């Protein structure tokens, strides 16, 4: 191990120890995450200044930093499926008016997700035209060719050869234990369906055999408490994970690539900002202060931004909705779970629509034709159902949308160099969309704990709450 690498690792460990000392104070999770974020940005900028983005010492240093950053993401991914399963099962089992409440909850949550995705597609048309973006002049090099081959090999078998009925059938689990491993992009939906059916069966059992039904419900409650203890145990590591992930992002950024495709990068973030404003307007429309909402959810958005994984953010998502926004666990679990595979505003809305508008002129299509825009919005909205909530989900969405419109998928590979930078903002938008859907659903169903929602401070760390 060379001396510069050793120094980098020791400095990183020193920052972790410093953060651990600071975290002993009675700080809220928000303050701890903010501290980790700040330390990560400063250290990343320092490494970027000393080494430059392509230095091998920096690259090897990042692999060591990833033990903390990627390790934290893996721990969250580890608890996603158990959390989704037990949360949905418990929520349904406690719905005494299951049919009507469950139907209304699902309709509003999924409807909000799809509506905002349709709006995201329209925003994509506007920002792409505003910045004059086009596929003309983008050159496909060796890296891009390799990327295109890889994504076609990885995703083609999952998105081709399935008609709409077959795609819908793919949601129904044939082996729930296999789905719990996340074997397919739609595994979360399959797990939700299995948990809902099992919850309905528990309700029927409680009706037919009250004593046995109570035993089942008690077992579900105990299992849920057990899983939630695990969630909070892992969540204590959030500041350290954010620190490591931010070091990786900042230190590894390549300035030349950013400048080369800066127009698309800026346009993407303008579109993302507009969608956050759309979410704020929707929240205001249902009686929730956007300022208070964003103040409470920003630690979740920070993690989503750094991790680039909507699925890994599910535990933080559910915890924040229930403990900070006053949303019932049933609604929070539904919106967080469905929000990772349905109606992702960033990955499944903005991104594929922007690519389609850029490609359209090269295919002899007028991107401002009203009928074509309506077609694009429809394709993007429907295609957003089933997009995986992991890194690469935007590519998955593009590989569905572009061929449906008769366009080549090449452009999805040409943006490889700035893809991670854009994906960070897209993921934050995806997660905010799911929390917005949960808030809207809770408000419209009149189930929000208003006192908890209006609390302006989050004084106690989440893991101290009961």
Neighbours of 139 (CB within 10 A): 6
At 143 the pLDDT is 53
Q: Over 210-261, what HEC string results?
A: HHHHHHHHHHHHHHHHHHHHHHHHHHCCHHHHHHHHHHHHHHCCCHHHHHHC
Q: Which CATH number fits domain 3-464: 3.40.930.10, 3.40.50.720, 1.10.3860.10, 3.40.309.10?
A: 1.10.3860.10
Res 429: pLDDT: 95
> Cα(52)–Cα(398) distance, rounded to whole angstroms?
32
Element housing 106 (H / E): helix 98-130
The structure tokens 């979740």 sit at 300
Q: Measure the CA–CA gap between 231 and 465, rounded to whole angstroms.
A: 13
Pairwise CA distance, residues 345 & 73, whole Å = 22
Task: Answer yes or no: pTM beyond 0.85.
Answer: no
Q: Which residues, 6 or more positions from 224, have their beta carbon under 8 angstroms from its beta carbon? A: 86, 87, 90
Q: What is the pLDDT of residue 462?
A: 42
Residue 118: partners with Cβ closer than 8 Å, 6 or more residues away: 349, 377, 380, 381
According to the model, what pLDDT value does residue 163 have?
58
Q: What pLDDT is attached to residue 121?
A: 95
Mean pLDDT by 10 residues, the chain (466 residues): 86 92 75 86 89 84 91 86 85 65 85 95 94 69 55 52 65 83 74 87 87 88 87 86 87 66 85 97 95 92 87 88 90 87 87 90 89 93 70 70 79 65 89 96 93 67 37
87, burial (CB in 10 Å: exposed 0-12, middle 13-18, buried 19+): buried
Is the distance from CB of 391 to CB of 308 less than 8 angstroms?
A: yes
């Amino acid at each position: 191990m060379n001396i510069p690498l050793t120094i980098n690792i020791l400095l990183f460990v020193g920052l972790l120890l410093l953060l651990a000392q600071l975290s002993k104070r009675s700080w809220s999770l928000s303050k701890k995450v903010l501290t980790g974020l700040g330390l990560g940005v400063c250290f990343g900028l320092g490494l970027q200044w000393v080494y430059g983005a392509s230095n091998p010492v920096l690259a090897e240093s990042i692999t060591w930093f990833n033990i903390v950053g990627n390790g934290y993401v893996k721990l969250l991914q580890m608890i996603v499926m158990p959390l989704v399963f037990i949360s949905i099962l418990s929520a349904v089992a406690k719905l005494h008016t299951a049919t009507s409440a469950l139907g209304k909850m699902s309709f509003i949550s999924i409807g909000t997700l799809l509506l905002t995705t349709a709006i995201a597609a329209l925003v994509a048309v506007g920002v792409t035209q505003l910045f004059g973006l086009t596929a003309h002049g983008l050159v496909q090099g060796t890296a891009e060719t390799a990327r295109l081959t890889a994504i076609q090999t990885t995703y083609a078998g999952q998105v081709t050869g399935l008609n709409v009925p077959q795609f819908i059938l793919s949601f129904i689990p044939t082996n729930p234990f296999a789905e719990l491993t996340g074997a397919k992009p739609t595994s979360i939906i399959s797990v939700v369906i299995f948990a809902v059916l099992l919850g309905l069966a528990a309700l029927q059992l409680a009706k037919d055999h009250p004593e046995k039904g109570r035993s089942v419900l008690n077992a579900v409650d105990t299992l849920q408490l057990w899983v939630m203890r695990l969630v909070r145990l892992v969540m204590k590591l959030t500041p350290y994970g954010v620190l490591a992930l931010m070091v990786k992002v900042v230190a590894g950024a390549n300035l030349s690539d950013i400048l080369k495709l800066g127009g698309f990068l800026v346009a993407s973030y303008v579109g993302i900002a507009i969608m956050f404003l759309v979410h704020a307007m929707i929240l205001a429309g249902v009686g929730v202060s956007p300022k208070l909402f964003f103040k409470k959810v920003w630690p979740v958005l920070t993690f989503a931004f750094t991790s680039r994984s909507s699925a890994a953010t599910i535990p933080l998502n559910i915890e924040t909705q229930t403990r900070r926004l006053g949303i019932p666990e049933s609604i929070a679990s539904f919106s967080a779970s469905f929000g990772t595979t349905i109606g992702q505003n960033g990955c499944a809305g903005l991104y594929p629509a922007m690519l389609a508008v850029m490609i359209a002129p090269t295919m002899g299509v007028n991107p401002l034709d009203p009928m074509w825009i309506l077609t694009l919005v429809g394709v993007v909205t429907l295609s957003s159902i089933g997009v995986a909530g992991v890194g690469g989900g935007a590519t998955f969405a593009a590989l569905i949308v572009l061929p449906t419109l008769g366009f080549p998928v090449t452009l999805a590979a040409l943006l490889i160099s700035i893809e991670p930078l854009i994906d960070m903002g897209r993921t934050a938008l995806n997660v905010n969309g799911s929390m917005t859907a949960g808030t809207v659903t809770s408000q419209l169903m009149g189930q929000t704990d208003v006192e908890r929602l209006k609390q302006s401070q989050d004084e106690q760390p989440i893991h101290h709450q009961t």
